[in-house]
Amino acid sequence: MADEGCTAQEIYDWLTETKMNSSIYLMVDTIKYLKKGGRITPAAALIGTILKLKPVLQIQGGKLDTCSKSARKFSQAKEIMINAVRSDIENRYRRARRRQAHDVRGLH
């Protein structure tokens, strides 16, 4: 945004307004606490434990959800998270940033 001519205050305002649109991706090594917290059913926990699944989760807008895939290995989970971040950058954030920069500068 700075390269597009926005001031520090405009950038700060944009970050403040859009912070709930940010995503955090994480992988849990065990399903135990997802079951204890009521996020998954006991049946899903049993199946996930037997299959040694490592769910990839996303926090967006203060809400925790499962990502579209689960992994069986750390390397697979890492790849899922990297691809999700890339997709966000290419699709959600680039368009939103461009639109917000124009709105902030009054270009609509």
CA separation for the pair 2, 86 (Å, rounded): 22
Average model confidence (pLDDT) for the chain? Answer: 83
**Could you read off the pLDDT of 88-104 as tens digits, one per residue?**
888 876 665 566 555 65
CA angle 99, 66, 61 (to 5 degrees): 40
CB contact at 8 A, 83 and 97:
no
Q: What is the pLDDT of residue 70?
A: 80
Residue 48 has pLDDT above 50, yes or no: yes
pTM (two decimals): 0.65
Q: What is the mean pLDDT of residues 53-57?
A: 90
Residue 85 has pLDDT above 60, yes or no: yes
CA angle 45, 67, 26 (to 5 degrees): 85
**Residue whose structure tokens are 């305002």:** 13
